[in-house]
Amino acid sequence: MSPKSQRWNNWILVVASVVLAIAPLFLVREAEFGGADGEAEAAIQEINPTYQPWFNPLVEPASGEIESLLFALQAGLGAGVIGYVTGLYRGSRERQASQHHPEVSQSRSEFKDH
């Protein structure tokens, strides 16, 4: 695959993922969008009304805001590592390329997206 068509394909993948994530918000407008495990909890109560959870989380986020902070932190940490690793690989590859063919290093000035 040529780099150009590869880039196109990657953008299509991104757009498709985003569309898949947003579409439900428009398709099922009256939904609450709660969590699936909350629903599972309700289903357990329905099947077995006497069941009592025998253990509670050691640490509960103090509020929904705190919980979303922690989730954002989790995503941020992961994304940071991914960015670091990808940057490192790209940099080392470009260094190799410029050692072999000095003229390639000039093409770095035109920003290549992938």
Minimal distance in Å, beta carbon 100 to other proteins?
14
Q: Nearer Cβ to other proteins, position 39 or 104?
A: 39
Are the C-beta atoms of 9 and 1 separated by less than 8 Å?
A: yes
Q: Nearer Cβ to other proteins, position 83 or 107?
A: 83
C-alpha distances in angstroms, 87 versus 6, 8, 18, 56, 81? 19, 21, 24, 41, 10
Among 4, 31, 100, 111, binds other proteins (CB under 8 A): 31
Using the rule CB under 8 A, is 104 a contact of other proteins? Answer: no
Number of residues that bind other proteins (CB under 8 A): 69
First-to-last CA distance in the chain?
A: 13
What are the backbone dihedrals phi and psi of residue 72, each rounded to the nearest 5 degrees, phi first?
-65, -35
d(CA 108, CA 87): 14
Angle at 15 between CA 17 and CA 67, to 5 degrees: 45
* Chain residues 50-69 in contact with other proteins, contact rule CB under 8 A: 51, 53-61, 63-65, 67-68
Contacts with other proteins by CB under 8 A lie at: 3, 6, 9-11, 13-14, 16-18, 20-25, 27-28, 30-41, 43-44, 47-48, 51, 53-61, 63-65, 67-68, 70-72, 74-75, 77-83, 85-86, 88-90, 93, 113-114
